[in-house]
Amino acid sequence: MAELKVIVTPELVERAVQRDSQHCMIAEAIKEGNPHFKAILVDLQTIRWTNPRTKKRYVCLTPEVAAAALVAFDQGGEIEPFGFVLKTVQSTPTRGSGKPRGGRKLTNQLTIDGGEPLRAGHLRGGSDTSRAAARAKGEAEREATEPAEGDSNVKRSSTRYRRYGRRLLQA
């Protein structure tokens, strides 16, 4: 599947559910054009569905026109009929579509020749000493960032704040 045409009609907008990835106007349009598709999900970044006939899960990037319409719809705005073409970015086999796994036997026997044994805690953060050091560092950082009296105790992280798509949202 290379392309999929999606046409959103006023009837689909009328029966769609706001802020629902499975029952938005775009998901309803895909469902109406392809009733055999399953697990259709639409969000601002991707549109995904499963085709049981091909036994594949498809992922497409949400076109800008569709993302803008989704934001307007979720905020209660009027939606004009529109259409767009989805181009598949990725398709993966669904579960159970491959060969059966039966018949494998695992044993706990492992032989290693040569080399030296790994030190305790060789994995990152795996030893008690590295955990204690990380805990002490975190406590020191918390104490250094204690708020002054009267200030809020909430500190907004500059690394965890998502800014993706804020241009599309209306105030």
Q: Give the 3-state secondary structure percentages of the chain, helix then strand then coil, rounded to 5.
A: 25, 20, 55
Tell me if residue 82 falls in helix, strand or coil: strand
Determine the structural domain holding residue 89 and report its residue range.
3-93
What integer pLDDT is reported at residue 163 of this predicted model? 41
pLDDT above 60 for 83: yes
pLDDT above 70 for 158: no
Domains identified in the chain, total number: 1
Is residue 55 assigned to a domain?
yes
| pLDDT classification of 171: cutoffs 50, 70, 90 | very low
The angle subtended at Cα 16 by Cα 2 and Cα 29, nearest 5°, is: 20
pTM for this predicted structure: 0.56
Is residue 84 assigned to a domain?
yes
